[in-house]
């Protein structure tokens, strides 16, 4: 049988067979890579928390450190090594994926990124398994030209399109022409542990490990060292402030391609002695508790986990007014917003909070209340579980029952 004939055969209904309705709802959980990016980590965290009622098989085309976490959680992983999304090899991989959907009797397919949306959508449609597409990123104009049409096709084939913020949902409606009734907003979440305040001995031990003076005022950023996060603007802002604030220290957590260049920039700005580059760190404990001010100065964002983690830690946030950041950071309520790339305004925002500790505490407390009420796992995850149940009721398992 050739590939076209096999794909056609996959689309034909199969005879029903008795099956236990009590078994978990089977989710084909599709991520491009198992690297420790924000979208990937958020997806795996959701799967870890929802295991039991749901059974997740991680579909991916590139491995990474998160594979160890999936194995520890007892989740099966299946790799489809895609070189591209067109040509004979892509068809072969797609047919293999469709056969897997039928063989394991998946109830729902959920894709988490641009690449996997485009790969899995047609094959989920062929097999009749309900498909949920995700939009967890923010398109600038160049991104829209590059990815708009393939993902619009994927959105048309999806039962629901999941957005992780109200701003992303608006973009889906306005730019991608997805109907309101097919968009579901499920934001990123934080666990209860993110709210746990570090004990004084633990905090002192970590600050000592980092060689931070007891009197240091700490501005911190937790983000991948990639161009879109624009750490360079933050370094320039700190260079503006340092002459007036000799106790100021910048803590940079995260790895990435820009690490050498950013360390060189800190040296050229004369703030290398005040800048601590920690590289990748474990996500527990929540390191935002060790900062006086948490910053995110990206040029483009959807809904960053680090913002919600900073709010959970009760830290005042200074962030750029881009993408979906204003959905979380309410200006002058939970933090301050600045224009991207403007190191002078960013420095002014940070300094206003350095000068006013009471306001820092007020913004941090407001953010912590909002994080607990809106972004806590116990609030967010039931919405995702309801989405899966609703999708399953439209698929082959419901028809068999």
**263-288 pLDDT, tens digit each:** 999 999 999 999 999 998 877 899 99
Q: Are 100 and 128 in contact, with CB atoms under 8 Å apart?
A: no
How many H helices and E strands in the chain?
Answer: 16, 13
pLDDT tens digits, residue range 148-171?
A: 566 788 999 999 999 999 989 998
Averaged over successive runs of 10 residues, the pLDDT of the chain (401 residues) comes to 46 42 88 85 93 95 92 94 86 95 96 90 95 78 55 89 92 89 94 94 92 94 94 98 97 94 98 95 89 96 91 97 92 96 98 98 98 96 96 69 50
**Residue 143: its pLDDT value, please?**
52
CATH code that applies to domain 3-189+378-400: 3.40.50.2000
Q: Calculate helix-pair angle for 259-268, 231-241, nearest 10 degrees.
A: 20
Q: What stretch(es) of the chain map to CATH 3.40.50.2000? A: 3-189+378-400, 192-375
**Residue 17: its pLDDT value, please?**
40
Which secondary structure element, helix H or strand E, spans residue 253, and what is its range? strand 248-253
Pick the CATH number of 192-375 from 3.40.50.1000, 3.40.50.2000, 1.20.140.10, 3.40.50.300: 3.40.50.2000
**Residue 13: its pLDDT value, please?**
42
What is the sign of the dihedral through the CA atoms of 92, 93, 97 and 103? positive
**Residue 16: its pLDDT value, please?**
40
CA distance 6 to 190: 44
Which secondary structure element, helix H or strand E, spans residue 290, and what is its range? none
**Residue 107: its pLDDT value, please?**
96
**Residue 82: its pLDDT value, please?**
86
CA distance 302 to 304: 6
Query: Which letter does DSSP use for residue 196 in this model?
Result: P
Bridge-based pairing state of the strands 316-320 and 293-296? parallel
**Residue 149: its pLDDT value, please?**
61
3-state helix, strand, coil in the chain (%, to 5): 50, 15, 35
| Closest to 296 in 3D by CA, of 352, 259, 346 | 346
- Phi, psi (deg, nearest 5) at residue 42: -60, -40
**Residue 11: its pLDDT value, please?**
44
């Amino acid at each position: 049988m050739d590939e076209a004939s096999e794909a056609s055969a996959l689309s034909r209904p199969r005879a029903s067979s008795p099956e236990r309705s009590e078994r978990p709802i089977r989710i084909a959980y599709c991520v491009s890579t198992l690297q420790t990016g924000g979208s990937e980590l958020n997806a795996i965290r959701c799967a870890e928390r929802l295991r039991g009622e749901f059974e997740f098989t991680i579909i991916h085309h590139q491995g990474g450190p998160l594979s160890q976490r999936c194995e520890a959680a007892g989740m099966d992983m299946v790799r489809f090594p895609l070189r591209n999304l067109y040509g004979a090899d892509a068809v072969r991989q797609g047919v293999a994926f469709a056969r897997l959907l039928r063989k394991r009797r998946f109830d729902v397919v959920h894709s988490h990124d641009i690449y996997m949306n485009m790969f899995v959508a047609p094959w989920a449609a062929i097999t009749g398994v309900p498909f949920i597409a995700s939009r967890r990123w923010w398109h600038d104009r160049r991104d829209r030209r590059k990815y708009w049409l393939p993902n619009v096709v994927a959105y048309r084939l999806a039962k629901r399109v999941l957005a992780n913020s109200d701003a992303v949902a608006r973009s889906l409606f306005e730019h991608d022409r997805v109907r309101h009734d097919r968009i579901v907003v499920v934001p990123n979440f934080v666990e209860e542990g993110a709210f746990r305040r570090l004990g004084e001995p633990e905090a002192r031990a970590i600050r000592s490990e980092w060689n931070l003076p007891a009197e240091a005022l700490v501005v911190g950023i937790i983000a991948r060292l990639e161009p879109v996060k624009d750490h360079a603007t933050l370094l320039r802002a700190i260079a503006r402030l340092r002459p007036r604030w000799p106790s100021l220290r910048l803590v940079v957590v995260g790895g990435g391609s820009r690490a050498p260049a950013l360390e060189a920039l800190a040296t050229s700005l004369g703030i290398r002695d005040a800048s601590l580059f920690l590289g990748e760190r474990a996500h527990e404990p929540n390191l935002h508790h060790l900062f006086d001010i948490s910053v995110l100065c990206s040029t483009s964002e959807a809904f960053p986990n680090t913002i919600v983690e900073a709010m959970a830690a009760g830290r005042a946030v200074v962030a750029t007014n881009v993408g979906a950041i204003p959905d979380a950071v309410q200006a002058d309520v939970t933090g301050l917003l600045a224009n991207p790339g403007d190191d002078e305004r960013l420095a002014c925002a940070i300094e206003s909070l350095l000068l006013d500790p009471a306001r820092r505490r007020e913004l941090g407390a407001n953010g912590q209340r909002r994080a607990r009420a809106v972004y806590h796992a116990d609030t967010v995850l039931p919405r995702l579980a309801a989405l899966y149940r609703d999708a399953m009721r439209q698929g082959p398992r419901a028809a068999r029952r």
